[in-house]
Structure 1
């Protein structure tokens, strides 16, 4: 794992609702839904272990804008009004390289809660 993962490129693709990140030549695309349900904010993560709040009905969420925060993070403005999480370079890299596992765990939690996602939009 890269000890100091800082993306060399960040590109917002509003039409496809994806954020593209490039780390050492590796391209990753994260959907707005994936980023929204994994926001590092207290609203999503809670204030401690076991206090996470399962995010539902985020299939159609988009990203209205992103802005840099210092030299360590970006703030993502989602079109559902959520904008309180700061996505650090480390956290974004973690989401990129562990995407499949994180997404699978999220889908399992939705199923366990009895929520059925809309068809992939």
Structure 2
């Protein structure tokens, strides 16, 4: 299986559309997606969002109007967007971005389902960081 990574689709274009709040990304296999900033934000691959293991995910709310203020490249394999709410610790690898695009509808529905389960909606303000699950158990 060596060398498989070389066949992963790579982005050929990444465009931040601030007005429509989407990240347009085109891959060298011809795939092209418009990923809403909100989707990118609530599925941030950071520990702050994903937690430190399965079931530790922190449900993100109130991100409908979030924008991406800048996008920083990380090596040749990822981008690190800076969001208007101050979140900037998510490193989005090419394959993660590809999956977000390919599974966008499913992921969006999963997000809506999780909101409903929690009894909140997209516009519910986030609870203070750490309040929801008592921090990360480092105290």
TM-score by length of 1: 0.92
Q: Which sections of structure 2, spanning at least 5 residues, go unmatched?
A: 124-139
Aligned structure 1 segments of 4 or more residues deviating by more than 3 angstroms: none
Distance 1:39 1:94 in 2: 13
Q: Which sections of structure 1, spanning at least 5 residues, go unmatched?
A: none
Question: Which has the greater radius of gyration?
Answer: 2
Answering whether residue 48 of structure 2 is matched by residue 18 of structure 1, we say no
Cα deviation, 1:83-109, whole Å, max 9, x if unaligned, reads 001000010001000100011000000
Distance 1:117 1:94 in 2: 22
Over aligned residues, Cα RMSD in angstroms?
1.3
Aligned length: 117
Answering whether residue 138 of structure 2 is matched by residue 114 of structure 1, we say no
Where 2:11 maps in the other structure, the secondary structure is: coil
Where 1:80 maps in the other structure, the secondary structure is: coil
> Superposition pairs for residues 73-92 of structure 1, below 5 Å?
73-92=78-97
Answering whether residue 91 of structure 2 is matched by residue 64 of structure 1, we say no
1:55 aligned partner:
60
- Deviation (angstroms), 1:26: 2.3
